[in-house]
Structure 1
């Protein structure tokens, strides 16, 4: 799966934060829910128009952002 097919940035939606295409659900929201202990199943129950693939795409997107993050040491 290529998350680029499922994630977009649209300046007119949520200030350009990365979102699931066609929704107003941000990658950040999904990552925070998972970090708070929600399972993918629970996220899908709360947001029934999402798919497992979209949730996984959010994780892949976040991993890529971190992977290419520049580390600055002081």
Structure 2
């Protein structure tokens, strides 16, 4: 299953200095990914950020994974 992140992640120079964030929030993708890497559960993230959804979390992970894919020439 492919997670489509493009509808959930925005990069706006006026928002968080252009850092990728979850649409309609000020929650940076980096905060979601680093929190999960630090062992914070999805449930804890959802409690800490009430505007966040499970789909947003998956979109953040998909965005990060896509950035790490080698580019084909």
The TM-score, its normalising length taken from structure 1, stands at 0.87
* Structure with higher helix content: 1
Deviation at 1:48, TM superposition (A): 1.3
How far did 1:2 drift?
A: 1.3
Aligned to 2:6: 4
4+ residue runs of structure 1 moved beyond 3 angstroms?
A: none
Q: State the Cα distance separating 1:68 from its structure 2 match.
A: 3.5
Taking the aligned partners of 2:31 and 2:63, their CA distance within structure 1 comes to: 13
State the secondary structure of the residue aligned to 2:31.
Answer: helix
2:39 is matched with which residue?
A: 37
RMSD in angstroms over aligned alpha carbons?
1.1
Q: What TM-score do the two structures reach when normalised by structure 2?
A: 0.89
Gaps of 5+ in 1: 70-74
How many pairs align? Answer: 69
Cα deviation 1:38-64 (Å, max 9, x = unaligned): 011110011111100001100000000
Name the CA distance, whole Å, in 2 between partners of 1:19 and 1:49: 12
